[in-house]
C-alpha cells in the first residue's frame, strides 16, 4: 500500500504569552475549513508553544554574572543571553562566534535552544519547559475537538555537524513512536539491517519546516497526513544516547 504524504500548513494569529495553544489551533483549523482525520500528525513549532507557555524573557531584566560575561565575550554572545544559556543548559561544550554549543535537555543544541527570532526586540524565547507534557496536553484538546486519534510533535530546527543549514528535530511528542526500528528488515540485495533505526519524528519535523520556514511565515503548525503511521495511546519518550554513546560528543577533543 503506497503512502500519499500530504503537508497542510496551519496559519494562526501571532501567538502571545498566555495564549492557550490548543484553543488557538482549533480555531485556526476551523477558520481554514479543515477537519483533522484519524492518524493525522500535528507538528508544532517549539517557539510558538513556548511563547504561549510564558517562556519569553525580556533581556532588559537579566543581570549577567561574571561567568556569563566572560563566556559572552569569548563567543560573541550577548552576556544577558549567555546568563540564560547557563541557566538552561547542563553543559557548555564550546562554540564559535555567535553561538555556544550546549547539552540541553539531553540534546546537543546551540545556545541552549534559546532563540531571538519571532520575538519582540530585546526578547528571547526559551525552549518549552516540558515538550512531551505540552504535546500531550495539546493532543488531548485536539482529539476532543475533532473526535479523532492524532499524534502531536513539538519540533525545533538544528544545524548538523559540518553542514550548512538547519534540519528538524523533535523535542517532545505524544501518540506516536518517534523512532522506527528497521533492524531485521532486508535491503534491495537481501542483506539484513543490523543498526538502522528511522528517526520518524525528526523527519516529520524536517518535512513540516518546508512550510513553517524560519522567519515570518506565520505557520507554526503543520498537519502531516497520509504517512501511514498508526497512532498509539501510550506516551513514548524520544530516545537519546548518553554522552559516551554519542559518536559526535565522545570524539570531541577535551
Distance CA 6, CA 156 (A): 20
Q: Could you tell me the pLDDT band of residue 215, with boundaries at 50, 70 and 90?
A: low
230 confidence band (pLDDT: 50, 70, 90): confident
Tell me how far apart the alpha carbons of residues 231 and 100 are, in angstroms, rounded to a whole number.
37
- Please compute the mean of the pLDDT values over residues 54-59 and round it to a whole number: 96
Give the rounded percent of residues in the chain with a pLDDT score beyond 90: 67
Burial annotation 139-159 (CB, 10 A radius, 16+ → b, else e): bebbbebbeebbbbbbbbbbe
pLDDT at 184: 67
11-19 average pLDDT score: 94
- Parse the chain into domains and list their residue ranges: 1-55+128-254, 56-126
Question: Do residues 235 and 15 make contact, with C-beta atoms less than 8 angstroms apart?
Answer: no
Asked whether residue 155 carries a pLDDT value surpassing 70, the answer given is: yes
Does 68 or 187 have the greater pLDDT score? 68
| CATH of the domain spanning 1-55+128-254, picked from 3.60.15.10, 3.30.1330.100, 1.10.150.20, 3.30.420.40 | 3.30.1330.100
Strand 151-159 relative to strand 41-45, pairing = parallel
Statement: residue 238 has pLDDT above 90: no
pLDDT at site 248: 75
Q: What is the pLDDT of residue 1?
A: 42
pLDDT of residue 2: 54
Q: For residues 30 and 37, what is the distance between their CA atoms, to the nearest angstrom?
A: 13
pLDDT band at 254 (very low <50, low <70, confident <90, very high): low
pLDDT per residue over 85-113, tens digit each?
999 999 999 999 999 999 998 888 999 99
Please list, in sequence order, all residues whose beta carbon lies within 8 angstroms of the beta carbon of residue 161, skipping any fewer than 6 positions away.
Answer: 248
Residue 253 vs residues 30, 76, 100, 249: alpha-carbon distances, Å: 52, 22, 16, 9
pLDDT higher than threshold 90 for residue 198: no
Considering only 68-77, 106-115, 233-242, which range has the smallest mean pLDDT?
Answer: 233-242
Show the CA angle centred on residue 149, arms to residues 12 and 132, nearest 5°.
65
Residue 118 has pLDDT above 60, yes or no: yes
Mean pLDDT for the chain overall: 89
Mean pLDDT on 135-145: 97
Question: What confidence tens digit (pLDDT) does each residue in 156-173 have?
Answer: 998 888 888 889 999 999
Give domain 56-126's CATH architecture.
Alpha-Beta Complex (3.90)
pLDDT at residue number 185: 76
Alpha helices, DSSP H, located in 97-199:
131-146
Using CA atoms, how far apart are residues 149 and 201, in angstroms rounded to an integer?
A: 17
Rounded Cα distance between 112 and 229, Å, is 31
pLDDT exceeds cutoff 60 at 13: yes
Q: Give pLDDT, residue 19.
A: 96
Amino acid at each position: 500500500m503506497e503512502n500519499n504524504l500530504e503537508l497542510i500548513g496551519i496559519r494562526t494569529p501571532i501567538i502571545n504569552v498566555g495564549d492557550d495553544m490548543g484553543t488557538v489551533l482549533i480555531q485556526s483549523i476551523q477558520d481554514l475549513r479543515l477537519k483533522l482525520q484519524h492518524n493525522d500528525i500535528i507538528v508544532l513549532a517549539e517557539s510558538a508553544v513556548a511563547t504561549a507557555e510564558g517562556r519569553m524573557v525580556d533581556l532588559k531584566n537579566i543581570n549577567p554574572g561574571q561567568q556569563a560575561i566572560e563566556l559572552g565575550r569569548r563567543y560573541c554572545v550577548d552576556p544577558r543571553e549567555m546568563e540564560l544559556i547557563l541557566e538552561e543548559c547542563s553543559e557548555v561544550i564550546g562554540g564559535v562566534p555567535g553561538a555556544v554549543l550546549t547539552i540541553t535537555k539531553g540534546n546537543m543544541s546551540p545556545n541552549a535552544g534559546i532563540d531571538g527570532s519571532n520575538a519582540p526586540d530585546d526578547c528571547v524565547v526559551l525552549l518549552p519547559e516540558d515538550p512531551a507534557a505540552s504535546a500531550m496536553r495539546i493532543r488531548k484538546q485536539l482529539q476532543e475537538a475533532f473526535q479523532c486519534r492524532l499524534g502531536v510533535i513539538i519540533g525545533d530546527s538544528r544545524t548538523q555537524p559540518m553542514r550548512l543549514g538547519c534540519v528538524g528535530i523533535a523535542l517532545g511528542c505524544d501518540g506516536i513512536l518517534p523512532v522506527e526500528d528497521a533492524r531485521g528488515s532486508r535491503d534491495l540485495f537481501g542483506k539484513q539491517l543490523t543498526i538502522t533505526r528511522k528517526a520518524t519524528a525528526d523527519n516529520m519535523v524536517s518535512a513540516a519546516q518546508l512550510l513553517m520556514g524560519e522567519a515570518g511565515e506565520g505557520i507554526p503548525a503543520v498537519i502531516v497526513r497520509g504517512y501511514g503511521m498508526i497512532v498509539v495511546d501510550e506516551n513514548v519518550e524520544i530516545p537519546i544516547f548518553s554522552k559516551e554513546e554519542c559518536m559526535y560528543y565522545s570524539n570531541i577533543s577535551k
